[in-house]
Structure 1
């Protein structure tokens, strides 16, 4: 096994989206996280920070994966999908040619805490048919190791020699996503994907011999194994995938390969054909 080292760090920054929803965001539309584009974290005990939600809006050229820790989100789209996810649940949306949807927040005693990940689609799939799926918490397999727990949302994961595959098996870029609840000690995480990212959203961790603080995302270099250690409880999202190495053109909710394709998406949205 070859140990992976951290080759790049990004830190979350405050942003705002939808109807005034306050979020923490990490993004790279230049290909530095390929096939991933953006990770938003919604987290607040104050309803005014998020209650406006995300009224109907379009997308083309991406997939989104939304994962809830506290509270919930209700999804509706022009295809007739309507569902609500709560703590531990996830929803996956393949926007393809186009989708118009809304996401409205729900709250519980701990407020709202959720994530939304954007995955790029390869050029061949940018105009494919749109689809949607949700996955409940009890459908996600888990690995327990040394007091820690890995919850597999999608893709293949190995922790201390044990492997699982998450139910979301159509993530773009052979994507894999997991939630790690870390207890003090040491773990060996095996992941050979060309792109491997770790985002610490609670506490702190040591990964590949370097400390990661809350709010930091690390991209690892080549290899197939990362040693995780620490003396405090922590939580992190794990992301892995295969890059496309294709040009990226981005404007608002649309991600294509060229400026001309973006212009076409805007025209299609204006004339009502984006989501047909």
Structure 2
């Protein structure tokens, strides 16, 4: 097996979205505009209610998928098709926007820590106009695999023969939450050809021999194996990989298509109530 090396380190940039939610934009910023098929990665983390209380009121999406993974706090999801769901600590929502949806994500708390990630994953041209769908995963549905160095929550893909609950995603993703004890070591197979990254969200890790600090994204090169370790303190990271699409990308705000003409059509369809 060939261990993937760290080919770049990126630190998130302060940003705000929704109705003023403060966050760190790690992919989709001036350093890394995208990492095919990943369009955006945000970490939101604050125990100051003013940083998140206004939430993400109604807004549209078309042409890609949003993946929300909560570490702490509570958010309520609603959409224009009558769906509703609770995002709480340990839960996952993999939403395929497809041809179009209007939804909101609003806090169900007035104080305390709100912490999690939202990842945007592109859809291939053939699937951009598919019907919207959700995979709402409760915390207890995410399997945890313990090993000598720590534990892994398996969201998508497999680790140690255990499959995650997210299914039927065209880019065949791997999404692991890796939590290492002090001095713990971790290794896993990653499909060759997938684009992959690791984001350290707690402590500091060593990935393929390279130190990666809390708040840094490690872009991983070619290979079929990822290795990581914690130093003298525990460390936590998400490891994410998926098949690149290698298609033209036209994007504007919440719409991601393959051409500018399709973007104009998305705006027209939204204005005319066809989402």
**Structure 1 stretches (4+) deviating beyond 3 angstroms?**
28-32, 107-110
Whether 1:15 and 2:11 are equivalent positions in the alignment is no
Q: Say whether 1:150 aligns with 2:152.
A: yes
Separation in 1, partners of 2:113, 2:228: 30
Distance 1:179 1:47, change over 3 A: same
CA distance in 1, matches of 2:144, 2:111: 26
Q: CA deviation at 1:33?
A: 1.2
Match of 1:47? Answer: 49
How far 1:107 moved relative to its partner? 3.2
Where does residue 76 of structure 2 map in the other structure?
Answer: 74
Distance (Å, rounded) in 2 between the aligned partners of 1:188 and 1:206: 12
Alignment of 1:85-164 (within 5 A): 85-107=87-109, 110-157=112-159, 162-164=160-162
Q: Give the distance between the partners of 1:113 and 1:125, measured in 2 at CA.
A: 31
Give distance in 2, aligned partners of 1:19 and 1:109: 17
Q: Post-superposition shift, 1:8? A: 2.1
TM-score (norm. length: structure 1): 0.93
Residue 106 (structure 1) shift: 2.6
Aligned residue number for residue 167 of structure 1: 165
Distance 1:10 1:170 in 2: 30
1:263 alignment partner in structure 2: 264
The 1-side partners of 2:236 and 2:151 are apart by 10
Using the TM superposition, give the Cα deviation of residue 227 of structure 1 relative to its aligned residue in structure 2, in angstroms.
2.1
Q: Once the 2 structures are TM-superposed, how far is the Cα of residue 32 of structure 1 from its aligned partner?
A: 4.6
Q: How many residues align?
A: 270
Paired residues of 2:48 and 2:111 also in contact (CA < 8 A):
no
Partner of 1:188: 187
Shift of 1:9: 2.1
User: What is the Cα deviation at residue 131 of structure 1?
Assistant: 1.1
Partners in 1 of 2:11 and 2:137 — Cα distance?
Answer: 29
**TM-score scaled by structure 2?**
0.93
For 1:240, the equivalent position in structure 2 comes to: 241
State the Cα deviation string for residues 142-187 of structure 1 (Å, max 9, x = none): 2111241110111223xxxx22210001234111211111112222
Q: Which residue of structure 2 lines up, in the alignment, with residue 6 of structure 1?
A: 6
